[in-house]
Structure 1
């Protein structure tokens, strides 16, 4: 059933054009991430009743309104050159400075009541040592490279020797340009996702909560395995109609507070907002919860977001859609019935992998 919902749409329209804007070099569009992004962009075009014209070509004149699907959060200057004037012009987000699109944006607050985990963003090795010294009062410190994703680019430092080893592996110029994130390490951590998507021209907003899947990649490492989302028709307040656990209610409140703060930033705009909220215990046994990453670009959960948008568009009586984006490593994996498979094969970097989206439940009443 969900596969039919995901596929049901005409292919050619004249209201405008959806194009991919690719910032990553090489053969990104031939990777499992790139191929999935193409599937997301094609689905967006069908929803908006626009043509899909593939990768953006500055030498071409596109008919009608041009809607961009970038592979990363855009910087204001580049967005302005493309004619992106509002969130209605792209699936993703725009920020004024490069560091704001990474984990580096999140930190300075360390209050236990803060909406983020105790931590700091630093731009020098000396600042990293100072930050770690303050955080060691809560136990081991997790050091994150802001440009890394999928749980990679992270290391633990329980003391100065371990921290120095981590810092030696990163150039001073890299730290100065992109920063490093240091935050309290959590045990028994669970990552919840809270987000919202507004697709210009549809007069439709969806908000969701969900949880990330953790899987094992082809090298035996823990990796992102997709997201299970509970999507509601409407803004943030729509989530309040769901029966939420106290942990999820806390995550939603913290994500909303974080999102409210972004609106105070001049030059910020986004049609897609996703916040990862980490919940667990610090080394003293104190429960912790807070936003540790924000995303305003098409991401791992986006195929599920678009699947939910499609379902809501095709059935105006729906109020709740459960949709999942799934990434599994290895050979011979059978997707569930009704799934929309985006990639199944051997990726040059990841190895054998399958990526698919499936709608598991739809309802006309909040549950």
Structure 2
């Protein structure tokens, strides 16, 4: 096929998160069962078979792929992978969701100047920057409306984020960042919320089968005392985001779903050559520093994520019971205990990760 998929899915070493690597392999194995394929442990790839019995590869990359990577692998549409493909790297990160500051010194290739206006109040007030001087200007402007959250765009599970409340704190926080890394990856500064509830809203498609879902995220504490992702309780339905939005929900949840749908449409209309079979959006609901309610999309995930085991379990439940239209599943990540899964759970990882330490990752059907 001309490309080495190991560049997208490297095998773990002592510096990698082994639990993520192991989870992707379990995702591949279970997806193979759903599509009657054969899981290939190398590169998290599945060999499927078409209607004439001819083999075809199906990929499960650990990250959103660039168009060039996808082309080298023969990935041409959403039916070729569980994940997504974008033309420029920043589109796959938190940076895509906010505008640049006026007169920005650094503008990445492929940037869509009109996207920030098109997204509007779908996201929280904020800026994306690719230069520390731009970041200082962005943070200074945002501080006029309250505390500001600084977010590395490639970090996951809330790691590396810091909240600043004054110009001095802003300058100190920015001084600790690597200028080269900010130029390469970008940095997001946005309004900070308190009393936050984070919804996971999205859709997944495996060949001719689709689900959509909403869920609430849990947080936990890792071995370093940092607050990190602790799992998701997922409510899945058959169909896509339109079918999900047609359900009867509270005003808060209905608004979160509609903002996720608008974000999804706007991003995919804003850049040509994108496609994704797995679309997940984190939407925050909380209060600003004046106590006003705010709801906004925080980021997207067009790749295997923390909620994926629950998504796969929903697909399995629907496949097993054609009369079932709703299912609630939960993914759980427990730090500090490598034997924490209850009876009946499907274990994705249980062991001592070289980076994260002792932990257990499992999924269960709730109802």
TM-score, L = length of structure 2: 0.87
Q: Structure 2: 5+ residue runs without aligned partners?
A: 100-115
Instruction: Flag the 1:283–1:348 CA change in 2: closer, same or farther, 3 A.
Output: same
Indicate the residue corresponding to 1:234 in structure 2: 239
Aligned to 2:60: 69
Question: Following the alignment from structure 1 to structure 2, what is the Cα–Cα distance between the partners of residues 306 and 113?
Answer: 33
Q: Is the CA contact 1:218–1:351 (under 8 Å) kept in the aligned structure 2?
A: yes
Give matches, 1:206-355, under 5 Å.
206-264=211-269, 265-331=271-337, 333-355=339-361
User: For 2:280 and 2:314, how far apart are their aligned partners in 1?
Assistant: 15
Would you say the 8 A contact 2:17–2:356 is kept in 1? Answer: no
Q: Are 2:28 and 1:23 equivalent residues in the alignment?
A: no
2:101 matches 1:104? no
User: What is the distance in 2 between the residues matched to 1:318 and 1:22?
Assistant: 39
Task: Establish whether residue 199 from structure 1 lines up as the match of residue 200 from structure 2.
Answer: no
Residue deviations 1:140-181 (CA, integer Å, cap 9, x gap): 100000111001010111122212222222222111111100
**Structure 1 residue 35: deviation in Å?**
0.5
In the alignment, what sits opposite 2:30?
Answer: 43
Q: Which residue of 1 aligns with 2:126?
A: 119
Q: Which secondary structure does the structure 2 equivalent of 1:312 belong to?
A: helix
More moved, 154-163 vs 267-276: 154-163
Contact 2:331 2:361 in 1 (8 A): yes
Structure 1 unaligned blocks of 5 or more: 1-18, 362-367
Q: Please say which of residues 218-227 and 290-299 is displaced more in the overlay.
A: 218-227
State the SS of the aligned residue for 1:244: coil
Does structure 2 retain, via aligned residues, the 8 Å contact 1:95–1:267?
Answer: yes
Normalising by structure 1, report the TM-score: 0.87
Residue correspondences, number: 339
Aligned partners of 2:119, 2:73: CA distance in 1, in Å?
A: 42
RMSD of Structure 2 on Structure 1 (CA): 2.3
Residue 180 in 1 paired to residue 187 in 2?
Answer: yes
Most deviating of 223-232 and 129-138: 129-138
